Structure 1
């Protein structure tokens, strides 16, 4: 990296007076560290009689923030009464989530380190997207960020060799069977759909045989943008600019700083606006905006200039602005105002739209912060045509 990550997001808290107490509490805790004011606010919210702890637990899980909440509960003793105000109930639920996520990620660490090493030995150029590059970089704690899989940028020409390596390591392209013991091949319909419409290979899976790791999942990506987005940044170009790194104890690569943030923006935009992710209620997750905020918060003027140049070269302004605009709404100060101004398009109507990549453009009726915590937001949306079998 050309800059040294500060491993913190700007500590300003967004104005959220209209949100229920459980939502305000989660937004307060959705950061690496709490300053004194944020700790006081968290304690005050936690002590309110109208705070719905079931809703808080659900929201923390939906937004993939339970482990982070658990570390805050332990580090700040938020489960203890102070000044007559009761602390978090069932503190062990949160701290156990943090410790369990750490154990899970360490299991993934061992497995994916082996994958990185074997791909490198086979001469397969690759770069790690998201996941462990963030966990070992900006987060700096193996227990904080929940990791589901490993996403690797790989040139299409290297797929046959990558396939051989993954097959040798026990991976199969398919989905986990109900018994959790086997990987079943995808249907012909699913294979054709992915090949025609998506920028990824079908996922490579291996049964994990652990209650916390039911499967190991490796995704090979050939472009950080989806085919239907009208924007393309082929893996080969990004790999040419890749930065050597050591992740999971193995030598590998990560995208260069400008590409890395653009990749996060593209990923966030894709999932926030695609029907498949809306159906699964994982379209809007605070954790994704925190990823962007942490990486953006480490950039200096030189890297921001490179980022703006890269966005312009790929014609990805609307996608980048979408992610950075909403990130700045949750994390004021994370993105310089001059960067937002440089990217801001004339027509902002698309910020409230979804389904465009699915060919079914629709518009949200509620504002961003409200729908961020609206568990029923998917009820009125169209259905995704992406096959899963």
Structure 2
């Protein structure tokens, strides 16, 4: 099932949100895999708005990781050309070039991560691929549409030592990219201890990328799709027992089964939207993450939704899941069934405007959701992440 067109609801993108600037409305109009003729006409009308700032649009498209998707739309629908409906997009090579460059970059990532899958499998290690290529190949049906930063894998804690041996043999080091961009420097002992005691992920494994478009290859191992301080747990070993075999990056692999996959996307979105580390890096609210959830949600059948609600209730993760689905529904009305939202809605919604709880520094946003979503200058009331990365 595809996302419903905004024109099916008799509205232009962002009308239901109120007060969005022209560049934000245009960005929302592009946020779908397929465009109808009405969608294209609406995009041309939005692009012809004399108050539209193309500079703001380009900055927002890059920040929200939407440039590759926009580039394909510009190319496929000839939006770079003048028509009777309006002038063509300026600087089309920026958008189309971003799509083509992302295709090349993601192919290099696929070649590398395919080798990682093969070596993990040969060592008898069960794993499941989260987000990234599982979405690019399985949901978007075009890996070039998503900018993939790293390889996220679910792995049982008891398999971590064996996976460490595999990744070390492949040239990976648990560390950060050195200032010269040519080496990976191991993390400090304090950083290693903090991550081991407080987070559900291993410290990232990296090795130099050796390409202008790939600073490093990054493998992120996760043992639980919820953070320790969330009070909710879904251990990787249990999720792997239900994982589905597939082929990704041309290599046999596994992905979480549909209920766990949607649960993982919701937990991931909530973590990054409310954690100080991601807020400081301006990676907390990105339209691309909400689009991921919306596309998977729109393709979820009633039976899977029922099983999803039961699993959420069993885990006690209603607040985390509702956060993700609520804001996804705001941006993409119709992607999440109303009955599901009603069933998962907590009695107290005050937490929807809070952040920093996972850091032990709960604060409240001064701006509303849609205002801060498109406001790159939003602030965080002076709170600072305590997650060490040195």
Check whether TM > 0.5. Answer: yes
Task: Report what 1:195 is aligned to.
Answer: 196
Q: Give, in whole Å, the separation in 2 of the partners of 1:191 and 1:306.
A: 37
User: CA–CA distance in 2 between the matches of 1:79 and 1:66?
Assistant: 15
Question: Residue in 1 aligned with 2:86?
Answer: 85
Question: 2:3 aligned with 1:9, yes or no?
Answer: yes
Where in structure 1 do 4 or more consecutive aligned residues deviate above 4 Å? none
5+ residue gaps, structure 2, are 7-12
- The yes-or-no answer on 1:236 pairing with 2:230 is no
TM-score by length of 2: 0.96
Is the alpha carbon distance of 1:86 and 1:381 closer, same or farther for their aligned partners in structure 2, counting shifts above 3 Å? Answer: farther
Residue in structure 2 matched with residue 104 of structure 1 by the alignment: 105
Q: Is the 8 A contact 2:182 2:208 kept in 1?
A: yes
- The match for 1:349 is 350
Q: Is the 8 A contact 2:45 2:85 kept in 1?
A: no
Match of 1:307 in 2: 308
Shift of 1:79: 1.3
Superposed displacement of residue 181, structure 1: 1.3
Q: Secondary structure at the match of 2:214?
A: coil
Partner of 2:148: 147
**Map of 1:137 onto structure 2:** 138
State the match for 1:3 in structure 2: none
Question: What's the secondary structure of 2:207's corresponding residue?
Answer: strand
Q: Deviations along 1:107-163, whole A, 9 cap, x unmatched?
A: 001110110111011011100000000000110012101000010000110011100
Q: Does structure 1 conserve the Cα–Cα contact (< 8 Å) formed by 2:365 and 2:380? A: no
Q: CA deviation at 1:223?
A: 0.1
Match of 2:328 in 1: 327
Give, in whole Å, the separation in 1 of the partners of 2:351 and 2:88.
42
Distance 1:84 1:325, change over 3 A: closer
Alignment partner, residue 95 of structure 1: 96
What is the CA distance between 1:76 and its match in structure 2? 1.0
Query: What secondary structure is seen at the aligned counterpart in 2 of 1:245?
Result: strand
Deviation larger for 180-189 or 318-327: 180-189
- Kindly provide the CA deviation profile for residues 46-99 of structure 1, in whole angstroms up to 9, marking residues without a partner as x: 112211111111100110000001011111111111216212100000000000
Whole-angstrom distance in 1 between the partners of 2:4 and 2:206: 37
The Cα of 1:253 is off from its aligned counterpart by 0.5
**Cα contact 1:328–1:334 (8 A) shared by 2:** yes
> Would you say 1:218 and 2:219 are equivalent positions?
yes
Distance in 2 (alpha carbons) for counterparts of 1:14 and 1:342: 26
Distance in 2 (CA, whole Å) between partners of 1:297 and 1:257 is 12
Distance in 2 of aligned mates of 1:161 and 1:11: 47
Residue 200 of structure 1 contacts residue 220 of structure 1 at CA under 8 Å; is this kept in 2? yes
CA contact (8 A) 1:245 1:252 kept: yes
Q: Secondary structure at the match of 1:64?
A: coil
CA distance in structure 1 between the partners assigned to 2:309 and 2:382 by the alignment: 33
TM-score (norm 1): 0.97
**Pairing of 1:236-255 with structure 2 (within 5 A):** 236-255=237-256
- Confirm or deny: 8 A CA contact 1:14 1:332 kept in the other structure: no
* Match of residue 371 from structure 1: 372
Q: Tell me the residue number matched to 1:297.
A: 298
Q: In the alignment, which residue of structure 1 is the partner of 2:9?
A: none
CA distance in 2, matches of 1:84, 1:166: 54
- Contact 1:180–1:209 (CA<8 Å) still a contact in 2? no
RMSD: 1.0
Distance of 2:73 and 2:376 partners within structure 1: 25
1:14: Cα distance to partner? 4.1
Consecutive unaligned residues of structure 1, counting only runs of 5 or more, are 1-5
1:264 and 2:258 matched: no
Number of aligned positions between the proteins: 383
